[in-house]
Structure 1
Amino acid sequence: MAVLRQLGLLLWKNYTLQRRKVLVTLLELLPPLLFSGILVWLRLKVRSENVPNATTYPGQSIQELPLFFSFPPPSGPWELVYVPAQSEAVRTVVETARRALVINLRAHGFPSEKAFEDYVRSDNLSTNVLAAVVFEHAFNHSRDPLPLAVKYHLRFSYTRRNYMWTQTGSVFLKDTEGWHTTSLFPLFPNPGPREATSADGGEPGEKHP
């Protein structure tokens, strides 16, 4: 009984304090109710869409490149970088790939990966680089053939080259940086299938048309 009496006194004390400060009481009660009402109103305004079937995208042809490839930067053609430049076998492979891509593309070789990194840091024309193909084999002579087990890695720009063609590139410039590999879901999700109108998967990616 003593516990109930103490609880009753505590409630009476709080009630008396709140009654004496009506404005403070209203400020404590109204904001949570207002924010809750706004959330309920926003939820009612969002139109839900029932999509019972899976979204099927058409196949992507490897012979057709996205449209933005046809519009090189004003400073010159796109560049396909390869390392090392002194190897005739590597140069032949890259030139064959360049001719297969029917766009205005120039092959640009560097003797080492460090030389390529210096070019990216210091030369303004490095913004034209689409990708770099770095072969990891050590060539002793320029006419050495490629090994049977070819090892190479690709290096892409930190800034996506197709940002001016994306939906967010012209509005949120921050979204043009990086490849968003740490994001499993979009920051602002839309109802329904994600990127339903983009056959290539949509944001983010270099293949967005």
Structure 2
Amino acid sequence: MTEPELPVERPAHGVGPHPEPWPDDPRLDPELLREGDARNVVDRYRYWSMAAIVADLDERRHPFHVAIENWQHDMNIGSIVRTANAFLAAEVHIVGRRRWNKRGAMVTDRYQHVRHHESVAELVEFARARGLTIVAVDNVEGSRPVDARPLPERCLLLFGQEGPGLSAEALAAASEVVEIRQFGSTRSMNAGAAAAVVMHEWVRVHAASAGAS
């Protein structure tokens, strides 16, 4: 009696080994072609090397930057980096402590440019040198709804920490302060969720016609 054929094991995510002969494309990684590609990347980047993916992203990055104050080792920074990658931000800037919890980034920091600044003053110098308008995100007195008028195309979106929000120095450095419209009882929403809303607002205004990559 013939034993039943067992199913071929495939990665939980992604694709298995590429059938031979392999494509003649310098962007492809031989190890991924041989072993399969289980990374959390869109289909167009299957089997591409990390360097090739970053190079391609660099050709298409949007002109907005994202910055997060990191005085208390905020656990949300990883998820903000992941969202910045999803919306193709030019760079992510960590202000304050250099070390940050990367778990929430789900290795997207390998594809996203991340720069460290010791202080808010150093971040402001960077923004001014590149003609970026600093837009602080915090629900403080004088802030305006983020969807009330378009965000600047070339801007640096500055986020604070979970709980205390932005520092006084960061608020003073901003050209404008925006907030997200809320209707419930909580004073504020999760910092990672707030960053996603504001980044999507930038994309809705400036890049929606481009569609998904």
Q: Indicate the TM-score class for this superposition, using the shorter chain for normalisation.
A: under 0.3
Question: Which one has more relative contact order, counting CA pairs under 8 Å at least 6 apart?
Answer: 1
- Using the size of structure 2 for normalisation, the TM-score is 0.26
Structure number with bigger Rg:
1
Tell me which protein shows more helix as a share of its residues: 1
- Using the size of structure 1 for normalisation, the TM-score is 0.27
